[in-house]
């Protein structure tokens, strides 16, 4: 059921840094052909920073760790016609030999199966606005609580209830590290009004933290919050009205569950005249670069512990 690309197998055997990458950003995160272009740029950002990219998806029922250009193009052209796959969906997609785009949760699961410990994404899922009534809470949060993979992201998606998302992560025992920041970023913006658990300023400090945590047998992941670059950031006051309008429209249309995030992100792109899409691209490239540097630092730090 699991197929690891030969280049990635070689890197793992020789203790080279490898970075897991998700595939819902290809199918559900942005339109074609920008999705394919962005996926290739993200892989390049990983390579440019000294690591091997491992984009993860399910192709024909096979858990694939590492995709070639044909695979990425297939997913990109199919778009939202590909099944958005989280933990609960994995047995169905695999047993029925379907194609699946992996969420943060599913990517973490498959990454751990393959022996990968660092994963770069855009923003994690979390507690949705209005969740006190809908109980709409992403499986990403529970996965972070039990799977030994560190996730580098630009915080949580701005469409979420960020204070409740951080409360849930605390309940699950998930540490939230701020990379060169004290405030938790909110995807498009560098600020949210919420604090991180601790601030670390170098990839080496983060690498030492991760190795220490897992050597102490403290199971579960770590969320590494990496703010969007200043040049690409959108002011919180500017993006929030678009988010609130999109959330209201989703409620009126009865959109919920796994369909709500693609709808909200797509609608926000429309409401911001495409500015949010460019911000999304820049932040995932930034996260991929940091993840590669952390993975490389982990190999060095292993000798110091």
User: Which residues are the active-site residues?
Assistant: 22, 157
| Residues listed for the chain | 305
CA dist 245 → 206, 248, 250, 264, 285 (Å): 37, 5, 9, 9, 28
The answer for residues whose C-beta is within 8 angstroms of residue 223's C-beta and 6 or more apart is 124, 144, 150, 151, 153, 169, 174, 175, 176, 177
3-state helix, strand, coil in the chain (%, to 5): 55, 20, 30
For residue 236, which of 287, 297, 184 has the smallest C-alpha distance?
184
Q: What is the DSSP letter of 259?
A: G
Would strands 62-65 and 52-59 be described as parallel, antiparallel, or unpaired?
A: antiparallel
Q: Which three-class secondary structure state does DSSP give residue 12? A: helix
51 contacts 291 by C-beta, under 8 angstroms: yes
């Amino acid at each position: 059921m699991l197929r690891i690309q030969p280049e990635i197998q070689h890197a793992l055997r020789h203790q080279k840094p490898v970075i897991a990458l998700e595939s819902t950003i290809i199918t559900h995160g942005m339109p074609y052909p920008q999705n394919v272009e962005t996926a290739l740029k993200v892989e390049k950002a990983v390579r440019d920073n000294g690591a091997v990219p491992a984009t993860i998806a399910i192709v024909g029922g096979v858990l694939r760790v590492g995709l070639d250009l044909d695979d990425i193009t297939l997913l990109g052209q199919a778009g939202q016609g590909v099944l958005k796959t989280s933990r609960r969906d994995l047995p169905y997609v695999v047993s029925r030999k379907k194609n699946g785009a992996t969420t943060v949760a599913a990517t973490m699961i498959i990454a751990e199966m393959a022996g990968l410990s660092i994963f770069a994404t855009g923003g994690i899922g979390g507690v949705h606005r209005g969740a006190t009534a809908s109980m709409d809470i992403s499986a990403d949060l529970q996965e972070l609580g039990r799977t030994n993979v560190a996730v580098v992201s630009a915080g949580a998606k701005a469409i979420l209830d960020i204070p409740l998302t951080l409360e849930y992560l605390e309940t699950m025992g998930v540490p939230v590290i701020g990379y060169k920041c004290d405030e938790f970023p909110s995807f498009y913006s560098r600020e949210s009004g919420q604090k991180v658990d601790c601030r670390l300023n170098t990839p080496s400090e983060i690498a030492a933290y991760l190795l220490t945590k897992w050597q102490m047998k403290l199971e579960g992941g770590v969320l590494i919050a990496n703010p969007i670059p200043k040049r690409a950031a959108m002011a919180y006051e500017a993006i929030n009205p678009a988010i609130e309008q999109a959330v209201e429209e989703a409620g009126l249309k009865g959109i919920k569950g796994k369909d709500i995030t693609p709808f909200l992100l797509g609608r926000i792109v429309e409401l911001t005249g495409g500015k949010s899409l460019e911000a999304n691209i820049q932040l995932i490239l930034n996260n991929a670069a940091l993840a590669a540097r952390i993975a490389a630092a982990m190999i060095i730090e292993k000798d110091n512990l």
